[in-house]
Amino acid sequence: MKYIIIILEPWRILRRIRLFIENILSLFPLFSFFRKTRSDECPVTLTHWFNQKVLGYNKLAYWPMHPSSQVSYTQKILIGKNVNPGYQFGCFIHGVNGITIGDYTSIAPNVGIMSGNHDPLDLRIQVKANPIHIGSYCWIGMNSMILANVILGDFTIVAAGAVVTKSFEEGYCIIGGNPARIIKKLDPTLCNRYEMTVSHIGYYPVNKFDNFKQVIIKNISCAE
């Protein structure tokens, strides 16, 4: 036990140092997200900010991401409250044809969301597709993949390892398999549409996000 404590102690010290630096930076309005998102499900930490804005991992993403995840075409990706695709490790988010994700949707590690596709007769050509729309209160399970043109309604639970090739617009269901199919339907009257106080969407304060949101919506509509 003594040796375990000795091993863990440096990590505790580093965490205290990180929190101290975050508290100092939070005194400046530009870095208020450190303090204001601390109680969120996916808080912005100094580690996220440093990896993205200093080291350049996923630097164009306007939300915090794990450095092992990758995202492209962030200008065509719209996220809701408490949503941070790629916050967990190993995700790949490809937004060439547009992606929207509703409020309070959880995305597990190693998830792929692929809005693009190639022409099977000429792999150099990117096929045009409709944007991917993922509703609110969804849960995208580990190692699952959502492909182009898919629409998932609210309260769609995607089982681990599923490959979603078609839409489930009505939502309120658990889907799984390859290709994904409905495993169980959920009773909408039992599903909790909770609301939480959210100060930021990614790195943006909520009260400053609307103008940015309109730009993204325009980018997505141009992609259609």
* Residue 200 falls in the annotated catalytic set: no
Choose, from 48, 66, 94, 118, the residue flagged as catalytic: 118
Is residue 179 reached through a cis peptide bond, with omega within 30 degrees of 0 on the bond before it? yes
As a whole number of angstroms, the distance between CA 171 and CA 24 comes to 44
The phi and psi torsions of 13 (rounded to 5 degrees) equal -65, -45
As a whole number of angstroms, the distance between CA 95 and CA 38 comes to 28
- Token pair 């993949």 in the structure block, residue: 145
Q: Which two tokens stand for residue 139?
A: 């849960």
Distances (CA, A) of 78 to 58, 63, 68, 83, 188: 16, 10, 21, 10, 25
As a whole number of angstroms, the distance between CA 23 and CA 38 comes to 11
As a whole number of angstroms, the distance between CA 149 and CA 114 comes to 9
Residue 90 is which amino acid? G
- The candidate with the shortest Cα–Cα distance to 204, out of 51, 112, 83, is 83
DSSP designation for 79: E
Instruction: Return the active site residues.
Output: 118
